[in-house]
Amino acid sequence: MLDSWLNNSASWFGRFRYMNAEAEQKTDRVLTMNASAPISCYLGDAPNRNRFLNFIAVSYEGLRGEDFAALVWDAGPAALRVAIHNFTDRPLAGRMRVWRLDHGRYKVAVGPDADDDAQIDEGAAEVTMAELGRYSAIPLALPPRRTTVVQAEQVERLDDLLARADLALSPLDSGWRPDGAFEARVHNIGSSPAREARVALLRDGRPVEEVILPEIEAPLDLHPRRVSVRFKDARPGDVVVADPAGLIPEIAEHNNRLAVPAKPTKP
């Protein structure tokens, strides 16, 4: 059955290759629903038109699509198993982000699958313990011309990430002021208050200035919660970091940094 779905998908893309690959980007007239089977194999589900939620189980970074194939076998809230084949003659390195796993501690096993049974060969697994949750990344090291199985099994469930605070910085509402200071607006876009949040200006990785914000409430009424911080000695190339020591549990921390841009030129 799976072979039939994959063949139908390949045939559909073959008939409309120019339209899908070159003529225009995906719109409501160029659909990908006929490619649901291969997309689901790689990602664990196939987001298509009128499906606005992110249902995928995994995504990949640092790998080219033509270099590997993947098949998501198990993709529940507490377990994950993915088989990845490297088609090339060289090792591949990248990352696999997880999107469905509940926040917790996991036993992560990675190893070869020489007999193609979607199981790590006996005695060949490299096992580590890791804290995983939505958006966490598992590093991938794929040997050439081999299939590698990555599996994660929850051993302890931790707190709900979505109930945490979430500090965030954005270039859209931060910038240089007329007096020469750089103003950064620190948002809390999470579900809990952020208390005693430190905001630091770093230069070459070293702190130049630091401010402590007593509290930023959570935007539970859907109105923004933000505090402006000014750095008088900021220079282009510096970096503003919210909670640089990682003391505040957050939903995500990739949005805690903001590079100070060049000063605008006068007209």
Residue with tokens 């390949």: 10
Q: What is the pLDDT of residues 23-56, one digit of tens each?
A: 655 555 556 666 777 888 899 987 766 665 668 9
**CA-wise closest residue to 257 among 44, 243, 266, 248:** 243
Where on the phi/psi map is residue 87: left (φ > 0), alpha (ψ -120 to 50), or beta?
Answer: alpha
Extract the runs of DSSP E, i.e. beta strands, from the chain: 58-61, 68-75, 79-86, 92-98, 104-112, 126-132, 137-142, 147-157, 167-169, 175-176, 182-188, 194-203, 206-216, 226-231, 239-242, 257-259
Q: Which CATH architecture has domain 2-157?
A: Sandwich (2.60)
Beta bridge partners of 83: 71, 149
- Taking residues 68-80, report their average pLDDT: 94
Cβ contact 89:142 at 8 Å? no
Domain ranges across the chain: 2-157, 162-259
pLDDT tens-digit readout, 136-165: 999 999 999 999 999 999 999 999 999 999
The CATH code of the domain at 162-259 is: 2.60.40.10
